[in-house]
């Protein structure tokens, strides 16, 4: 029987190939996500290619946002960071088509993929293979959420993990035990934050949640851990996963926001 790597329509994560769709989605059944109130449903990458297109948008020098229109599943963005020694795909989206692959190759391709946390596992294995089987870096503390395994996946277990050109992955924890951010020190420095630091709509402050869809906050100790993880680096910009960016003074925005959060806990 033909087997297919099915994709959950609510979180956009692709599972190990199977003849029939999986019975359940462990990512969506977790408190941080939700099962669609109409019930669990599945799709395939071929079907997505027919229903959706991707946009590749230059959002800062050497930074491209990649996102799907209309929005699919969680609706996050990936970012392609162009560096002298090879491009890094930070986080990932589910829809991957020939146009996207061609355009990214014209920008120099992808040398590695780094993922902030399990909600953005999407179709990482497809993306890795499309660019020659490049490594996919994931923090080892989130290994149990990998629902499609592949030899390209490389778990890192340090507090900080260096890629190249001084670009570093930093484990913050909080939203997930292995939730990480990516630091690019070029220019005045920038943080790519996934979900564990969330840029607020004013583009001047940030917040931190255990679950965004279910509105479950994080305990104080986790917020202090996130603060500590990025305290000793200098950054001016911050790139959120939903197109909200702090263009300058992001470090001050982080300090102000942590203080605001802690005052509420007093």
The DSSP code sequence of 24-40 is --HHHHSTTS---TT--
Angle at 205 between CA 249 and CA 253, to 5 degrees: 30
Q: Is 241 among the residues that bind Zn ion (CB under 5 A)?
A: no
* Contact present, 178 and 142 (Cβ < 8 Å): yes
Residue 8 binding Zn ion, by CB under 5 A: yes
179 binds Zn ion (CB under 5 A): no
If the CB atoms of residues 16 and 249 are measured against Zn ion, the closer one turns out to be 16
Nearest to 189 by CA among 229, 116, 239, 244: 239
Helices (H), the chain: 26-29, 45-51, 98-106, 124-130, 220-230, 250-265
Cβ nearer to Zn ion, comparing 110 with 147: 147
- From 2-10, 52-60, 85-93, 155-163, span contacting Zn ion (CB under 5 A): 2-10
Residue 255: CA atoms inside 13 Å, Cβ hemisphere, count?
10
7, 28, 112, 141: which one binds Zn ion (CB under 5 A): 28
| Min dist. Cβ of residue 10 to Zn ion (A) | 5
11 binds Zn ion (CB under 5 A): yes
* Piece of 20-28, 47-55, 226-234, 253-261 that binds Zn ion (CB under 5 A): 20-28
Count other C-beta atoms under 10 Å from residue 60's C-beta.
Answer: 15
User: What are 55's two structure tokens?
Assistant: 């946009």
Count the residues of the shown chain that bind Zn ion, applying the rule CB under 5 A. 8
The HSE-up count of residue 194 (CA atoms within 13 Å, CB side) is 31
Q: Which of residues 89-148 bind Zn ion (CB under 5 A)?
A: 119
Smallest separation (angstroms) from Zn ion to the CB of 209:
9
Among 25, 134, 138, 169, binds Zn ion (CB under 5 A): 25
Residue 242 or 256: the one with the smaller Cβ distance to Zn ion is: 242
Q: What is the DSSP letter of 20?
A: S
Residues 6+ away with beta carbon under 8 Å from 50: none
| Nearest to Zn ion of 39, 61 (CB atom) | 39
For residue 99, the minimal CB distance to Zn ion (Å) is: 26
Considering only residues 186 to 215 of the shown chain, the ones binding Zn ion according to CB under 5 A are 195
Neighbouring residues of 61: CB distance < 8 A, sequence distance ≥ 6: 187
Contact with Zn ion (CB under 5 A): which of 27, 110, 172, 246? 27
Measured between alpha carbons, how far is 243 from 87 in angstroms, rounded to an integer? 20
**Residue 134 or 147 with smaller CB distance to Zn ion:** 147
Minimum distance of Zn ion from residue 27's CB (angstroms)? 4
Positions touching Zn ion (CB under 5 A) are 8, 10-11, 25, 27-28, 119, 195
């Amino acid at each position: 029987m033909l087997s297919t790597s099915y994709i959950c329509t609510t979180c956009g994560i692709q599972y190990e190939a199977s003849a029939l769709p999986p019975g359940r989605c462990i990512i969506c059944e977790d408190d941080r996500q939700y099962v669609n109130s109409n019930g669990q449903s599945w799709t395939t990458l071929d079907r997505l290619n027919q229903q959706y297109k991707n946009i590749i948008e230059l959002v800062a020098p050497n930074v491209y946002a990649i996102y799907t229109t209309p929005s699919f599943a969680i609706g996050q963005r990936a970012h392609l960071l162009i560096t002298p020694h090879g491009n890094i795909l930070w986080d990932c989206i589910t829809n991957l088509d020939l146009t996207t692959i061609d355009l990214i190759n014209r920008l120099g391709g992808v040398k590695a993929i780094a993922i902030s946390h399990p909600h953005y596992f999407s179709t990482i294995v497809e993306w890795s293979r499309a660019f020659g089987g490049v490594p996919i870096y994931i923090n080892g503390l989130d290994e149990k959420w990998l629902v499609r395994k592949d030899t390209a996946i490389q778990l890192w277990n340090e507090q900080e993990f260096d890629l190249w050109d001084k670009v570093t992955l930093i484990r913050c924890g909080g939203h997930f035990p292995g939730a990480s951010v990516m630091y690019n020190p070029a220019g005045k420095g920038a943080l790519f934050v996934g979900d564990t630091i969330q840029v607020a709509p004013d583009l001047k402050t940030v917040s931190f949640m255990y679950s965004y869809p279910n509105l479950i906050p994080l305990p104080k100790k986790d917020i202090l851990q996130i603060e500590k993880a990025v305290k000793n680096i200098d950054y001016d910009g911050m790139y959120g996963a939903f197109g909200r960016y702090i263009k300058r003074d992001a470090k001050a925005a982080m300090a102000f926001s942590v203080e605001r959060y802690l005052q509420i806990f007093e």
